[in-house]
A and B are shown apart, each in its own frame.
Chain A
Amino acid sequence: MHDFFHTFFDWSEIAGVLPSLLGEGLRNTLLIAVLAILFGLSGGMLLAVLLLSRKRLVRLPARIYVDVFRGLPAIVTVSLIGLGLPAAGIRPFGRSPLGYAVVAVGLISAAYCAEIFRAGIQAVPAGQMQAGRSLGMSYLKTMRLVIVPQGVRNVLPALTGQFIVDVKESSLVYLLGLGAGQRELYFIAQERQAASYNASALVAAGLCYLAITIPLTYLVNWLDRRMREGRPVRSGAEDLRPEPALAEG
């Protein structure tokens, strides 16, 4: 029993690894995750609009993209991009694995975000598009100014789940081999564990992930509430009295 506890909660192990986890590790994990999330959001929004097009030829490539990247195991996608591309001589990020990880996790995230956004946009009543068009706004303008803003509001909570996945998948970059200064949370912990044959560093890394993902949920929930309630308005008691129909213009 003492061994069990010691394997997971060895304070000296944790204290030893903590500085690099909180410094280098957290920085690189957040770097990959945040960039992949931004990549996924913008790519996902673009894909969602394509998925909703009335033209089959526009829909089809987006459909294939989404099906492929949702269907592949993340580990395969990360390897294909992080190991495959450089091997094929395509090295937009030189020898830094972080860039490839951002792209791979971002591409996967875009596929999931696309479906989330599509569902949110489809939940916006058709009358909103009709109202926009009847005022002379084009399809795309109505999408941008009326439909998408309301669609996004519909799916903020669902997006949180995707953000959390992106944070976790950033750890797959370990596959690509990381040099000094490039290591993220999992890589650091895993190196330490291999050296000491003690899992406490992994526990510390796990806590670091939770310190990102759990507050993220509450942050998005808070944002969601704020958007729903809107800016505060003046109290409306005096506004509810009947008013003259059409005052002198």
Chain B
Amino acid sequence: MTTMPGRPAFPDEPFPTDRLRPTSRPAPAHFSPAISVRDLRKSYGRTEVLRGVTFDVTPSEVLCVLGPSGSGKSTMLKCLNLLEKPTAGSIVVGDVTLTDPDVDIDAARTRIGMVFQHFNLFGHLTALDNVTLALRHVKRIPKAEAEQIGRAQLERLGLGQLAGHRPANLSGGQQQRVAIARSLAMRPEVMLFDEATSALDPELVKEVLAVMRELAGSGMTMVVVTHEIGFAREAADRVIFMDEGLIAEDGEARALLDDPPSARFREFLAQVL
């Protein structure tokens, strides 16, 4: 009998494999999808930007969302933490139905991290204060403890030296990593990225993608809107291709990218590559 490294053996159990049999017990909660989106629709006035979007993201899955400009990627992502209010459909993140009218949206959002194209760091605060603001004022963690968490988080992203700097004194790549640290400090279950590297100079893209890749490797559930096909190929488990407010393709990342099933997707890939 072999045991997985790091897992305890079960010397007292004659048939330890029983424990692994999925049918022997009800599926634990974490087997349910981390994100479940059903028939999501969003209109601005008369234009329907999302026209019925349905997909699931399983825990620890990395989903990349591709699609041409204006296809509704950002709108869809913002619906996932209700920065945009869906017109119709349902969104469940973890065990919270965001589209339930009685939902405590502020509480739900602490479990959903979001990283923006333009970083959106709080310009009047230092890197450290950016990371600790919500810890202190949402999670009500005392200042000293919050700063300890914040410093550890910055350190983890290679930003330890920059804790006292204002955003204006940081490079784009550093700003985006501070923004990621700010989200991660809240210990979210899910991370959303909206073109996190699009506003960066080419030489700074790498450092941010490296952080995202390692985060993906650490088991974080991620929805990543990106034009970085290379990142999608390496780091994503699944890719969806959005076109005109609908999901046009949905499949395993490599399979879909190496052998695009539709002419439309092939065309898109040819353009971004």
Contacts and interface: CB of A to CB of B under 8 A. Distances in A.
Interface of A: 125, 127-128, 130-138, 141, 145-146, 149-150, 153, 227, 230-231, 233-234, 236, 238-240, 242-247, 249
A105 to B, nearest CB: 30
Nearest to B161: A239
Contact of B166 (A230, A244, A245, A247): A230
A153 B123 CA distance: 11
A140 to B, nearest CB: 11
A134 B81 contact: yes
Interface stretch (B30-38, B105-113, B261-269): B105-113
B179 to A, nearest CB: 8
Contacts, number: 113
Interface in B102-159: 106-110, 112-114, 116, 118, 120-124, 126, 133-134, 137-138, 152, 155-159
Given A141-B137, A238-B161, A243-B159, A136 B109 contact: yes
B134 A135 contact: yes
Interface stretch (B16-24, B207-215, B240-248, B249-257): B207-215
B9 interface: no
Contacts of B230: none
18 contacts: A128-B123, A130-B78, A131-B120, A133-B83, A134-B109, A135-B109, A136-B107, A141-B138, A150-B123, A231-B126, A236-B165, A240-B171, A243-B158, A243-B161, A243-B207, A245-B214, A246-B215, A247-B156
A249 B118 CA distance: 26
A239 B183 CA distance: 22
Contact of A246 (B113, B121, B171, B214): B214
Nearest to A136: B110
Contact of A249 (B107, B152, B179): B152
